Structures are given as C-alpha cells and as structure tokens.
Structure 1
C-alpha cells in the first residue's frame, strides 16, 4: 500500500481541481448539466482514483486506478477541446490548462511504468 498524500502526482492533481472549477465558471449556464458537470466529475476523479487505488493490496490493482486517473485526464483534454470548438474558452486558456494537465499525465505514466517494472 502507498500513502497517497505523499505522492507528487496526487498533490499536483489536488491543486489542479480549482483550476478547472475556475474555468467552468466561464461556461454558459446551459452547460450546467453538460460540460460543467463532466469537467468537475473528471477532475475530481483524478486524485480520488489515486487515493482509492493506494489502498489496494497490490500494485497490480493500484495500477488499474492510476489508469482510471489517466483516463480522466484524457477525458478533460477532450472536453476542453470541445470548449475551444464552441468558443467557450480561448486557445490561450486551453494551452495554459493543458500545460498543467500534461504534467499530471506525465507523472501518472511514469508512476504506472515504475510500478509495472517493479513487479516484473
């Protein structure tokens, strides 16, 4: 088992949540049950899956939850691209958020690889 609160990727993903919450305030009210809801759920699921997976009895099971977190990252990326296409956010806003999201993605991929290599 891992102490999720000591994991850099968990810490970074917690700090990322307010970024998305600030961003969705700019979206139209009509997206309350669409993009806004989806983005909020996806961003919260990143640190939540890391925390939940850390309690699993094996790295193999932990990796599944880390992969779920990674999937949520890609879900956010897709939803942000839709926001750009709909002119809800600018390319500059997208790039600023994506820089932070890519950092989390890189850390997740590196951690998953580390756990996989460790258990070969």
Structure 2
C-alpha cells in the first residue's frame, strides 16, 4: 500500500486539476454541461484514481488504476485540443496545459513500470 499524499504525481495532478477548473471557468456558459463538465470530471479522475489505486493491496490492482489515470489524461488531451479548435483557449494556454499534462503522463507511466 502506498501513501498517495506522498506521491509527486498525485501532488502534480491535483494542481493540474485546479488549472483545469480555472481555465474552464472562462468557457462559454453554453459549455457548462458539455466540454467544461467533461474536462473537469476527467481532471478530477486523475488524482482520484491515483488515490484509490494506492489503497489496493496488490501492485496489479494499483496498476489498473494507473492505467485508468492515463486514460483520463489522454481524454483531457483530446478535449483541450477541441477547446483550442473552438477558440475557448489560446495557444499559450494550450501549450502550458499540455506540457503539465505530458509531465503527469510520463510520471504515471514511469511509476506504473516500477510496480510491474
């Protein structure tokens, strides 16, 4: 069992979640139940899956939750690109968010490989 609060990837993903909430607060009101909701739910699922997986008693179970974490990260990447296409975010915002997301993906992948 791992202490999720000590995991750097959990800390970083929690901060990333706050970034997503901040950026989506500027989206059009018509997207409240669309892209805004989708991005926020996917962002929340990243640190949540890490926390839930850390409570499992086997590495195999934890790996499964880390895989879900990666799935949410790639979902966010797609949604951010769509938000950019729709001009809800600019290039600078997109680049910054994708850089942070890429770091989370790499950290998660590396951590997952250490558990195998």
Instruction: Please give the range of the TM-score, normalised by the shorter of the 2 chains.
Output: over 0.9
Deviation per residue, 1:65-98 (Å, 9 max, x gap): 0111111111110000000111111121100111
Looking at structure 2, the residues matched to 7 and 89 of structure 1 have their Cα atoms a distance apart, in angstroms, of: 30
Looking at structure 1, the residues matched to 84 and 13 of structure 2 have their Cα atoms a distance apart, in angstroms, of: 22
C-alpha deviation, 1:48, in angstroms = 0.3
Deviation per residue, 1:7-55 (Å, 9 max, x gap): 1100111111110011001111000000000011000000000000011
Name the count of aligned residue pairs: 116
- The answer to whether structure 1 residue 85 and structure 2 residue 93 are counterparts is no
Q: Which residue of structure 1 lines up, in the alignment, with residue 49 of structure 2?
A: 49
Q: Which residue of structure 1 lines up, in the alignment, with residue 68 of structure 2?
A: 68
Structure 1 runs of 4+ aligned residues shifted over 2 Å read none
Looking at structure 1, the residues matched to 87 and 3 of structure 2 have their Cα atoms a distance apart, in angstroms, of: 41
Looking at structure 2, the residues matched to 23 and 77 of structure 1 have their Cα atoms a distance apart, in angstroms, of: 14
* Gap regions ≥5 residues in structure 1: none
Could you state the TM-score of these two structures normalised by the residue count of structure 1? 0.94
* Gap regions ≥5 residues in structure 2: none
Looking at structure 2, the residues matched to 86 and 14 of structure 1 have their Cα atoms a distance apart, in angstroms, of: 26
